[in-house]
């Protein structure tokens, strides 16, 4: 499976090199708090994922006012021109070297002036990356610049310097992953969701790991092929907090294994996952809160594998961020 994932990422890079020169190797930054990524350049097309403000993306094509993009983990989709800021190579390098901030609150509002009730410039969500502004900060507010150049102010307690954040999450353990996932208990399920505005099952995994400095693949069917495979038949004996547990159809029939759901093991036979909403359920049979709607088909350990294989990379070592 790991070889398959490597081939997929390689094919994506090759396909970019075959594009017309005008659409090749362009880089951009998502410039709104959250943008949907569509399967096709059409508002009625399926939402396959999302990308959040400050995420660096590669632009691989254009159709009307839609851009096809590749996210840092290699996921592809379409977003509109209003939601992305195109950057030259020089601008991208300047952004990577600039003082950036990461939003640590669930939600934050960027206002035109450093005062409550000022006109709104944009909203932000947890995990958004924005620039440190050049304007004079005021008491309780920090000057910021958004990826598309809009300027404003956010409450100082809502952001932390990106480098400082990187140092604080440089060595996360499983309990850190679980604690982050717990922040979203009760938040709504959203197909393709990847932010506090709504999360699908693999989106909860991806966001929980990203907020601990690790980029993982997007879908459950991809995530199961990364990390170190674990014996899921003895859950309480072999799994550790932060491990991923996968559900679907086993490989006993001619159709082969199919992965349709993922949760984060939280210890003591419990997992946290996004199903209808983000919630806790037992993985042990016979209990009132047992999650028995799907069959367990695998488990994997992500921690300890970062920067050692394709599909698991720290933000600090991803060349699109630093």
Residue 6 has pLDDT above 70, yes or no: no
Q: Using the 8-state DSSP alphabet, how is residue 92 labeled?
A: H
Percentage of residues of the chain with pLDDT beyond 90: 83
* CATH superfamily placement of domain 174-317: endopeptidase domain like (from Nostoc punctiforme) (3.90.1720.10)
Whether the CA torsion 22, 28, 32, 34 is positive or negative: it is positive
The answer to whether the CB of 228 falls within 8 A of the CB of 301 is yes
Q: How confident is the model at residue 114 (pLDDT cuts 50, 70, 90)?
A: very high
Distance from the Cα of residue 34 to its chain's centroid: 11
- Helix, strand, coil fractions of the chain, as percent rounded to 5: 20, 40, 40
**Residue 273 annotated among the catalytic residues of the structure:** yes
What is the per-residue pLDDT for 138?
Answer: 85
Residue with tokens 């547990």: 245
Q: Where are the domains of the chain?
A: 2-88, 98-164, 174-317
**Which of 124, 232, 273, 305 is labelled catalytic?**
273
pLDDT digits (tens, 9 = 90+) for 221-251: 999 999 999 998 889 999 999 999 999 987 7
Residue 45 has a pLDDT of 98
Could you tell me the sign of the dihedral formed by the alpha carbons of 246, 216, 202, 243, in that order? positive
Can 201 be counted among the known catalytic residues? yes
Q: Which of 124, 201, 232, 318 is catalytic?
A: 201
| Statement: residue 3 has pLDDT above 60 | no
Give per-residue pLDDT as tens, 133-191: 998 878 899 999 999 999 999 999 999 999 999 999 999 999 999 999 999 999 999 99
Residue 318 designated active-site: no
What's the whole-model pTM score? Answer: 0.91
Q: Which of 207, 175, 176 is nearest to 274 (CA)?
A: 207
From the candidates 124, 261, 305, 318, give the one annotated as an active-site residue.
261
Element (H, E) at 97: helix 89-97
302-319, pLDDT tens digit by residue? 999 999 988 999 999 999
Match domain 98-164 to its CATH number in 2.30.30.40, 3.40.190.10, 1.10.287.3510, 3.40.50.11540. 2.30.30.40
- Token representation of residue 88: 């030259």
**Residue 15, pLDDT score:** 38
Q: Over the chain, what is the mean pLDDT? A: 91
Report pLDDT for 18. Answer: 36
Region for 252 from its dihedrals, namely left if φ exceeds 0, alpha if ψ lies in -120 to 50, beta otherwise: alpha
- Give the pLDDT confidence score for residue 254 in this predicted structure: 67
Of the chain, the end-to-end C-alpha distance in Å amounts to 29
Mean pLDDT value across residues 271-289: 95
On the question of a common fold for 98-164 and 174-317, the answer reads no
d(CA 58, CA 24): 9
Q: Around Cβ 47, how many Cβ atoms within 10 Å?
A: 16
The residue count of the chain comes to 322
Backbone angles phi, psi at 236, to 5 degrees: -70, -15
* Third-level CATH fold of 2-88: SH3 type barrels. (2.30.30)
């Amino acid at each position: 499976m790991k070889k398959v994932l490597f081939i997929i990422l390689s094919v994506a890079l090759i396909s970019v090199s075959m594009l017309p020169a005008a659409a090749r190797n362009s880089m951009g930054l998502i410039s709104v708090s959250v943008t949907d990524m569509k399967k096709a350049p059409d508002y009625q097309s399926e939402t396959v994922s999302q990308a959040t403000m400050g995420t660096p993306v590669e632009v691989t094509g254009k159709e009307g006012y839609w851009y096809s993009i590749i996210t840092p983990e290699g996921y592809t989709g379409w977003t509109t021109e209003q939601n992305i800021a195109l950057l030259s190579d020089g601008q991208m390098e300047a952004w990577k070297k600039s003082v950036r901030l990461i939003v640590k609150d669930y939600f934050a509002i960027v206002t035109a002036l450093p005062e409550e009730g000022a006109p709104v410039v944009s909203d932000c969500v947890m995990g958004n990356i924005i620039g440190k502004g050049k304007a004079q900060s005021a008491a309780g507010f920090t000057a910021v610049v958004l990826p598309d150049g809009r300027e404003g102010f956010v409450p100082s307690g809502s952001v932390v310097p990106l480098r400082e954040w990187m140092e604080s999450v440089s060595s996360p353990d499983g309990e850190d992953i679980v604690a982050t996932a717990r922040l979203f208990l009760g938040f709504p399920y959203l197909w393709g969701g990847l932010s506090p505005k709504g999360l699908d099952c693999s989106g909860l995994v991806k966001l929980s790991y990203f907020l601990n400095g690790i980029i993982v693949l997007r879908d459950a069917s991809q995530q199961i092929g990364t990390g170190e495979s674990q014996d899921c038949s003895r859950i309480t004996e072999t799994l550790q907090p932060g491990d991923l547990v996968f559900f679907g159809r086993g490989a006993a029939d001619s159709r082969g294994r199919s992965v349709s759901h993922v949760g984060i093991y939280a210890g003591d036979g419990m997992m946290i996952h996004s199903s209808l909403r983000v919630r806790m359920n037992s993985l042990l049979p016979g209990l009132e809160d047992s999650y028995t709607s799907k069959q367990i088909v695998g488990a994997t350990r992500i921690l300890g594998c970062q920067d050692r294989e394709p599909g698991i990379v720290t933000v600090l070592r991803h060349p699109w961020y630093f």
